[in-house]
Structure 1
Amino acid sequence: MRNRIYEITANSFRNLRFLTRLFLSENNISRIDTGAFNGLSGLHWLFLNDNKMQTLEPGIFLGLEDLYWLDLRNNEIRDLQEGECLNDLKSLVWLDLEGNDIRSLNARSFAGNTSLTVLILRNNSIKSMEKNSFTSLGTLVELDLSHNQISHLPDGIFDGLHSLEILRLRNNPLISLPVDVFRGLENLVDLDLAEVIIGNINVNMFQSLGRLEKVAFSKFEYCRYAPHVRTCTPRSDGISSFENLLKNVILRVFVWTIGIITSVGNLGVLVSRAFMKAENKVHTVVVINLCTADFLMGIYLLIIGTHDVKYRDNYNQHALEWTNGVTCKVSGLLAMISSEVSVLTLMFISLERYFIIVYPYSFQRIKTRRAIMVLACIWLFGTLLAVVPIIPVEYFGNFYGSNGVCFPLHLHEPRLRGWEYSVVVFLGINTTAFIAIVLSYTGMFLSIRRTRRAAAQCGMKGDMTYAKRFFFVILTDSLCWLPIAILKVMSLCNFIISETLYGWIIVFVLPINSALNPILYTLSTTSFAVWFMRQLKRGKLNTSGCYNGRKVDMSESRGHLQVKSKMAA
């Protein structure tokens, strides 16, 4: 090893009949003459790795009848010469050709090596293989074809490999596999398909592999197509894991916490609005619609949390059923409708307020009937956006079932089926709405500030009140849509989005608007505070019995409650 040998001539080792291992690696060998290894009848291991061999001429391995292990790694071999040079190695068990420049394989490449158990062709330039390339290798236990240029596997390419236990196809430009490509591999235990995109993947590809214990895919969601396999990698997509729909405790806690807060908060607003006396009917109608949309987001989160509990510690066995099922599609549909109707309603609120405040004389306040028509259009448009991906066309594929939480942000796979539609919705429509909201509230604040100062009012404190309120409205929208827009752009620019971050976006960031909207648009308003205090006062009076013989009259003056009691007539 590590000399300057560049050539091995005939009969160079003819007197070394007891030699069992020969190390010639890391030299400059580019030529081996016919009969170079004559006399090495007892040789078992031959290491020729890291040399400069370009071809394997017929006859160079004559005399090596008992050779067990041949290492030809990291040479420059392009042509196996129809396997003629390997035909002399009748006892060869291990053949390592990693790191060469082999371009193709045919039925004669290894036809004479019927005792091979390990064949390593990793990191070559193989582009084509004939159907019967490995048919004669009935004893083969491990076959490594990873890191090549294979774009197509012929039907029946692995026929006859009944003893094969390990098959590696990692990092090949395959875009699909024949449905029965693994037919006859009943003893396969370890399958490596990492970094391979399988566009036509389905459960039938792996059903016949009854002994398969370990499989490596490029995408976590592929694991659902091999539910009987004990170990599947990658083990998570940032949201789900092999065992659980929601991979960690924090996600599980938050999905229930935010789901309950969102559902209860919006339902409470809907109930309270039904009993509150509406001074501005348009605003009430808009807020009711907003809360209804946000309430759907809470229902969506509770559905995900419920199924996480249902599939706890056993998710992969049910993943295919879940992601292809009606419940997943319906929950994704609810989340999409909630998301789009909510953001479009917020934009409508912002624009309506903007024109009323900035142009109070030229803009006529919108009437209730027209507001209802606008909101109906928003619901129709939002529902249409959510329903279109369910249409059974090839373009969308399983749009909502691309991940365990059934929401199609596609951050981890920016070029998944239907990605253009996802970009239009979440980057186009929602970003436009967000910009409109920010500009509207900024314009409102500047107009109010200018008007107050023109009226010679001491407006610093009042300006701060408006500024704080508008700031929190913009902040909540920013916390929700700005991270999603930024990450969406980054994913399209081929930045790798952290798996953990993706989980947080879906479970925590996406619903933040739905959870906080009841506070911003109802619970923090003066009208709600007045109504709530009135109900609280009535409850106290009713409990204490102080109202006996009296008539209670409550009226609002300058934002404070005044309780006037009059003696009954």
Structure 2
Amino acid sequence: MENLAVLNLANLGIRELEQECFSGLENLVHLDLRKNFLKKIPKRVFRNMRNLHTLLLAGNDIFEAYPGSFDGLLNLPSLDLSNMAFTTIVEDMFYGLSSLMFLNLSHNKLTSIEDRSFTGAGKVQTLDLTKNDIAEFTGDIFSGLGELAYLHNDKYVFCCFRPHTVPEEQCLPAADEFSSCSDLMRNAALRISMWVLGFTALVGNLMVILSRCIYDRQSLKRSNDFFVANLAISDFVMGIYMIIIASADTFYRGVYSWNDEAWRSSWVCQLAGVLATLSSETSVMFLCMITADRVLVIKFPFKDFNIFKRYSKYISLSVWILGLLMAGMPLLPIDYFSSSFYSRSGVCLALPLTRNRPPGWEYSTTIFVIWNFICFVFIAFGQAVIYQAVRASQKLRKGRTTNDMAIARKLSFIVLTDFVCWFPICVMGLMALQGHAINSEVYAWVAVFVLPINSALNPIIYTLSSVDTMRKRKLNREKTFSSTTRSTVRTGSSIPQILRKELLFLSQPPNSVCLSTYIGSLMSARQMLTIAYQLAGSIDLLHSNGLVNGLVETDSVYVVLDQGIIKRVTAACVPMATEIEEDFSKDIRDFGLLVSKMLKAYTVAKKQHLAKMVNQ
């Protein structure tokens, strides 16, 4: 037995090894103990086996070893203890493995590694600790590994305590795109951007919400403004997310590596991830609603598309419910998400911009790449339709006007900000799906700066940019009111009396005929033009005084005739004061419908006249 070189004890049902059971086998080179029922490795079991080069233990369910359990294996170059049941690596467990170069402890149940566990194995160059859930360790975890060159772990925190002999690129996993060993946000510029954008989004959107809920409640009756208010709430939520992450970075400054796992698995991080997803998705959907509403109003100004006006509250509620479902789905106890959807990085985002395939990557790709790209295309197409419609209407009057260019710039800015926010994410996501590596700095800037920038810009684009327009409108109304007041003082009449005297009557005037009756006898375009021109003048006079007709129809319009010639056109109404833009728009739509009816009646009358002439 002294000259035995190879010993195969595999598949023998061995349950226990006694101390020094291999005594006298000093020349043994190969020992195979695979696929037995070993549970422990006792002390000094391999004593004096200095020539052993191969030790095979795979297929056992070993869960415990002791200090010095491998003592005596002076020339063993590698040791594979993977796929076993170790829970703790004790101090001096690998003492005596002076020639060991490769140590594999992967796929165990490790939760704790004691200090100086690797003492005596100073020549180890590769250490694999992957697929374990190690939670208890100190900064001296790798003490004694003076020649270590490759370190493989599940958590980057271990790389923060790697020996100086391990280059950063040879310690896996690599640091995430945001954090370092000391800070949650390793880039100072990103840290400052997070605070600036966070406060800008909070303050800007809070101003929008307060202004519309307190100082301009009437605007909420308009569907477009109601969507803008909901957009402000959505962007306000993004501001909360950014402040949460910025605050966590400040709280863990200098000691983040020790708290990385606790932070990413905390309910605060999960909440931050939900808020970020909720905000980004509802913001995109409300932009779609605003675009659709504007397209219908501008493209079809004389048609009564009131679906958004009548159901804006229900549409908004549906958007919020859908957003909550999208954001909250990963929190459900479903194996697909593995309860780690929002724990991929220190900033609690689940953007699919890496080649990794963590649990739920298909879901995040669908939401952040495919869905958002579809929304962006819809918004861009809608804004193009709006611009073309406005430009066409401008050309009918004065050609390329200053107002036309202002609208073009504003719409271009809206599309540009959406493009800057979502198009890079969509492209990077598609590149990642194809296996391309995304630079970590690019990923960090996109996630921390590009993604939330819309939340800071939207209140400027949709509300604050309208302040000057509102101010000019107010000045114009004050100017008109002042002019009317001066006329009232001179004539001793009130505004309603002036309007009634010049253009409007509460009842049918003498020598007049109702337009609904007269419309059938229209025989010339001049007659239509006269009626439309005078009626438009009456509506303009009302609107310039902050009043509306409310009912511009053929039954309420009267044509005063003198020997068949139109002398005057009046509209019976009781003018109403309002500040709601939709009320003014209704007058204009009704006016357009009335003109359309006259055109149709004129066409019919013309055809009948031509038919009579042919028959004669």
Shared fold, TM over 0.5: yes
Match of 2:215 among 259, 275, 284: 275
Give 5+ residue unaligned stretches, structure 1: 1-57, 62-79, 98-102, 535-553
Query: Could you tell me which residue of structure 1 aligns to residue 203 of structure 2?
Result: 264
- What is aligned with 1:23? none
Q: Which region of structure 1 is more displaced relative to structure 2, 322-331 or 267-276?
A: 267-276
Q: Which residue of 1 aligns with 2:354?
A: 412
Of the candidates 44, 48, 71, which is equivalent to residue 138 of structure 1? Answer: 71
CA distance in 2, matches of 1:152, 1:128: 7
1:179 offset after TM fit, Å? Answer: 3.4
Q: 1:487 aligns with which of 428, 434, 439?
A: 428
Q: CA deviation at 1:363?
A: 5.5
Query: Which of the pair is proportionally richer in helix?
Result: 2
One-letter amino acid of the counterpart of residue 556, structure 1 = N
SS of the aligned residue for 1:265 comes to helix
Give 1:163's aligned residue.
95
In the TM superposition, what are the counterparts of 1:452-491 in structure 2 within 5 Å? 452-453=394-395, 455-459=396-400, 461-491=402-432
Contact 1:227–1:317 under 8 Å retained in 2 = no
Q: Deviations over 1:159-192 (max 9, x none)?
A: 99431789876999x6x43337979983459898
Q: Tell me the C-alpha RMSD between the 2 structures.
A: 4.9
| Deviation string, structure 1 residues 94-117 (Cα, Å, up to 9, x no partner) | x9x9xxxxx99899xxx9894659
TM-score (norm 2): 0.60
- Cα contact 1:345–1:378 (8 A) shared by 2: yes
1:446-477 superposed Cα distances (whole Å, 9 cap, x missing partner) = 23333433x25312544432221111111100
Matching of residues 339-354 of structure 1 within 5 Å: 339-354=280-295
* Alignment correspondent of 1:437: 379
C-alpha contact (below 8 Å) 1:223/1:233 kept by paired residues: yes
The structure with the larger Rg is 2
1:322 Cα shift? 0.9
Say if 2:164 is the partner of 1:223. no
1:507 partnered with 2:439: no
Q: Does 1:212 align with 2:142?
A: yes
Q: Is the 8 A contact 1:243 1:315 kept in 2?
A: yes
Aligned to 2:176: 237
Q: Deviations over 1:428-452 (max 9, x none)?
A: 2211111111111122222333343
Indicate the SS of the match to 1:511: helix
Aligned-partner SS, 1:316: helix
**TM-score, normalization by structure 1:** 0.65
Q: Does the 8 Å contact 1:251/1:507 carry over to 2?
A: yes
What letter matches 1:162 in structure 2?
A: F
- Whether the 8 Å contact between 1:258 and 1:511 is mirrored in structure 2 is yes
Residue 250 of structure 2 is aligned with which of 304, 309, 313?
309
- 1:132-162, CA deviations, whole angstroms, 9 ceiling, x for partnerless residues? 9x9974256897759x9x9845769999943
> How far does residue 281 in structure 1 lie from its aligned partner after superposition?
2.1
Percent identical = 27
Contact 1:346-1:437 within 8 A present in 2 as well = yes
Q: CA–CA distance in 1 between the matches of 2:247 and 2:196?
A: 13
Does the alignment pair 1:178 with 2:109? Answer: yes
SS of residue in 2 equivalent to 1:437: helix
- Correspondence 1:401 to 2:336: no
1:253 pairs, out of 180, 192, 196, with 192
The residue matched to 1:360 in structure 2 has which SS? coil
2:4, 2:27 within 8 Å by CA — same for their partners in 1?
no
The count of residues paired between Structure 1 and Structure 2 equals 448
Task: Write the letter of the residue equivalent to 1:309.
Answer: T
Contact 1:165 1:187 in 2 (8 A): no
- 1:384 is aligned, of 314, 325, 338, to 325
Q: Secondary structure at the match of 2:447?
A: helix
In structure 2, what is the Cα distance between the partners aligned to 1:447 and 1:192? 70
Q: Is the 8 A contact 2:82 2:104 kept in 1?
A: no
Which AA in structure 2 matches 1:341?
T
Give SS of 1:407's match. coil
Change in Cα spacing, 1:187 to 1:379, as seen in structure 2 (3 Å) is: same
SS of aligned partner of 1:556 = helix
